[in-house]
Structure 1
């Protein structure tokens, strides 16, 4: 019999600390550190960025859970006590991204920050958090794909602990969590490597590249999953949203280049902050 990994990292009396939460928190911390460093380079106040993160994180958590609960409403009506049980999984990335994006838009307006630049700074670090966070799904044995064979998983040259963890409900499963994690981390490497090339990105385009990259991969990976949230019982919600976001991101990229030819380069950074410092001198 194949033994699954223990989803509980630590027990302190009645308190249980789940690997799911530990992994998600690790991804968030690394994302914040990288975002703060890039903010300094782009003349965005780290104090402002940190304040924004403090607002965005709880709303992202609420959004992720609310999105999931809404599309699984019949179950949660019957089990209302499970609505807050996020340690059992059931967090939708798209819900967190939508909620966090709203917070960023409102915050930047209040603090008079260049919203496209702030989104550019955040985008690769958010993708990093997503790539790490998928390993929380791995520990919970969720976000998996259709039944497969042991020989198929072994042909992928996966470590044994991954192969064993993919034995779920009496069958081996496609490790779709891993496919998405690798896609996300590859995107992080590309965005971090390319965004500092002169003249390559206008402000807003690092963020749009992130949206296009993630939604493109998610569309195909979502089609492989067996636990998708469904609309009308036939449409995979995340697959539909991925297709829409991909088209919108590419359309905005092309449209902004055509209608706003004088967009500032990403490397220009916060022009308002630069002008303010020049005046003070």
Structure 2
């Protein structure tokens, strides 16, 4: 059996460059490239996605950290100096998504961009980033499930390097990072295969499809994890939020179809490309 991976990719003097950071950087680049490529087809300038990235990524990380700190306040209230110590771990995807959504809505308002169309364009890239980013958890041996057996992992026909990485302090654990990454990959393939079909998605519904898929995957995967954030020590925060998102998205989808009747996704942005703004 091979040894577990070293989380440090390489060193530059006293500086350690970790695989987690490299993987997250790749995830951000892929998401940006996918958004720019689709944005050109929807008549949205590339600069808008780059500018949005410069705001959404740092604020998204702040949101991911605040979300984690809020639900671990019992610890951080006693150790306030650790609140900003993000290098010690402790960020939550949902917190980053919420912060990123707020940034996008403000950005679209300032730039005069259609928010639902922007969400449709960006959602597949965000999903791809999440798929890639989970492999950072894999390298760090975190976000895993409960104890399991070598026989079970081998029965999944996993590569040896994954099985080796799932052995932590002599115990094998469920590769929940892989479950989430794999099932989100299926969702991404479906979304990319269907989003350009005529008269299928209204504007906003590619984004809502992403939310529905991700909330279902996260609900079930979260139930297997050992590092969940809890409410009252018994209710998993991410499962509750996944349920809320799923129900709200279904309600919003029906409401928009019946009452608002938005444009089809393929109708474009209504903007001339390239365009100018104040």
TM range (shorter): over 0.9
Instruction: Mark the CA change 1:59 to 1:8 in structure 2 (over 3 Å): closer, same or farther.
Output: same
1:89-128 to 2 correspondences below 5 Å: 89-128=89-128
Contact 2:32 2:49 in 1 (8 A): no
1:85-234 to 2 correspondences below 5 Å: 85-234=85-234
User: CA separation in 1, counterparts of 2:151 and 2:240?
Assistant: 32
User: CA separation in 1, counterparts of 2:38 and 2:200?
Assistant: 17
User: CA separation in 2, counterparts of 1:176 and 1:162?
Assistant: 12
236-245 or 161-170: bigger deviation: 161-170
> What is the number of residues matched between the two proteins?
276
Secondary structure of residue in 1 paired with 2:142: coil
Q: Superposition RMSD on alpha carbons, in Å?
A: 1.8
Secondary structure of residue in 2 paired with 1:272: coil
The answer to whether the aligner puts 1:266 opposite 2:277 as a matched pair is no
Secondary structure of residue in 1 paired with 2:271: helix
Describe the superposition over 1:204-241 as per-residue Cα deviations: whole angstroms up to 9, x where unpaired: 00000000000011001101111101111011000100
Give structure 1 stretches of 5+ with no counterpart. Answer: none
User: CA separation in 1, counterparts of 2:122 and 2:206?
Assistant: 9
Give structure 2 stretches of 5+ with no counterpart. Answer: none
Q: TM-score, normalised by structure 1?
A: 0.93
The answer to whether the aligner puts 1:32 opposite 2:41 as a matched pair is no
1:56-67 to 2 correspondences below 5 Å: 56-67=56-67
Describe the superposition over 1:157-201 as per-residue Cα deviations: whole angstroms up to 9, x where unpaired: 001111011112331111000000011111111111110001110
Describe the superposition over 1:243-278 as per-residue Cα deviations: whole angstroms up to 9, x where unpaired: 1001111111111111123x111011111337x89x
